[in-house]
Amino acid sequence: MTSPLLAIRDLTIDYAGHVQAVRKANLEIRLGEAVGLVGESGSGKSTLASAIPGLLPASARIQGDIAFKDKSVAGNQSALRGDEIAMVFQDPMTSFNPVLTIGEQLVDFQSRIAGSAKEKYRRAIAMLGRVGIPDAAMRAESYPHELSGGMRQRAAIAAALLVNPSLLIADEPTTALDVTMEAQIIHLFRELRRDYGGGILIVTHHLGVVAELCDRVYVMYRGDVVEEGPVDDIFHKPRHPYTRALLACDPARIPERTDYLPVISDAERATFTRASWR
Ligand SMILES: Nc1ncnc2c1ncn2[C@@H]1O[C@H](COP(=O)(O)OP(=O)(O)O)[C@@H](O)[C@H]1O
Ligand SMILES: [Mg+2]
């Protein structure tokens, strides 16, 4: 078996004055693999994902190891950013500068790539077309606020792909979008998977997104990675009680109209101790 593209070993992250946001996490991603990271809000998903390209705030303390292409990069992850690793966020507005056009920014994103500004602009337009933005040449002249949320997220994905990263990380890429837009972005990721050979990490609290897109999934609960496996196994044979509860609460899996949405009760939470599944 080839060695993984990314290997996270015993990663612990805490914020000054806070409890540990991530505890001894292990996670691997191989080339060509789409991996999901799921868990409810506050479980540590963004903290873990942001540590990979070195995007944690200065108050975060990090222990453990991150290896990229077999080389330890712990403490030096930012060197991989914008080149080997690209990240897409929940709010695509944060990816863009409001006073520059989309096209100008897509040229800037290619600063480490060879080519004239003209070539880069052409590449930007081609990429906007590829992520499904109609009239890409015209759209490149738009400012971020002139695009709809869904179009902005497509443009952010185009920006990420322009650097041809080995690893694409998307943190809740569909959460800010309505259901129709979400379906379109999921569809886009599925298409991209076909000809993008890198690894993909999709962070989401929405299990449906994982089911649609991922090969494998890691489940986080209160800072711990509590379960890991092929998506089919996790959906059909969840081992950890928290995963079972998460599945039971996913609106996409509730078969009939009900008057209430199931939630995880505090009593149920009390059973999610490590002893209960290890
Ligand atoms: N910048 C920060 N400073 C202090 N605590 C933070 C910061 N960011 C996140 N946290 C805390 O770390 C924990 C994990 O948060 P986060 O990684 O954002 O979870 P998720 O992405 O799963 O919602 C939470 O308890 C959150 O309040
Ligand atoms: Mg998050």
Ligand 1 pocket test target in 12, 18, 20 with most atoms within 8 Å of CB: 18
pLDDT band at 275 (very low <50, low <70, confident <90, very high): very low
Pull the structure tokens for residue 16: 């000054």
Residue identified by tokens 């609290």 is: 205
CA of 42 to the centre of ligand 2 (A): 7
Q: Is the pLDDT of residue 251 over 90?
A: no
Separation CA 147–CA 159 (nearest Å) = 15
CA of 43 to the centre of ligand 2 (A): 8
Residue 115 is predicted with a pLDDT of 94
Please choose, from the candidates 55, 67, 59, 60, the residue with its C-alpha nearest in 3D space to the C-alpha of residue 3.
Answer: 67
CA of residue 175 relative to chain centroid, distance: 11
Supply the mean pLDDT for the chain.
Answer: 88
pLDDT tens digits, residue range 180-211? 888 889 988 988 888 888 999 999 988 889 99
Pull the structure tokens for residue 235: 């959906």
Q: Is the pLDDT of residue 157 over 70?
A: yes
Specify the higher pLDDT residue, 196 or 221.
221
CA of 15 to the centre of ligand 1 (A): 8
pLDDT tens digits, residue range 63-95? 999 999 999 988 888 888 878 999 999 887 888
Q: Is the pLDDT of residue 270 over 90?
A: no
Pull the structure tokens for residue 1: 């078996």
Phi-psi region of 235 (alpha: psi -120 to 50; beta: other; left: phi over 0): alpha
- Average pLDDT, integer, range 159-177: 92
Pull the structure tokens for residue 275: 């002893």
pLDDT band at 278 (very low <50, low <70, confident <90, very high): very low
* Domains of the chain by residue range: 92-164
Taking the CA of 41 as reference, the closest ligand is 1
pLDDT tens digits, residue range 41-57? 999 999 999 999 999 99
Percentage of the chain beyond pLDDT 70 is 90
Residue 276 is predicted with a pLDDT of 44
Least confident of 147-151, 234-238, 254-258: 254-258
Phi-psi region of 69 (alpha: psi -120 to 50; beta: other; left: phi over 0): left
Please choose, from the candidates 86, 133, 73, 137, the residue with its C-alpha nearest in 3D space to the C-alpha of residue 112.
Answer: 86
Nearest CA to ligand 1 atom 20: 42
CB-based neighbours (< 5 A) of ligand 2, an ion: 46
CA of 42 to the centre of ligand 1 (A): 6
The number of the ligand 1 atom at minimal distance from the alpha carbon of 15 is: 4
Separation CA 61–CA 137 (nearest Å) = 44
Whether 133 and 155 have beta carbons less than 8 Å apart is answered as yes
Q: How many CB atoms lie within 10 A of CB 112?
A: 8
Ligand 1 pocket test target in 13, 15, 52 with most atoms within 8 Å of CB: 15
The sheet carrying 224-230 orders its strands as: 85-88, 167-171, 199-204, 34-38, 216-221, 224-230
CA of 147 to the centre of ligand 2 (A): 24
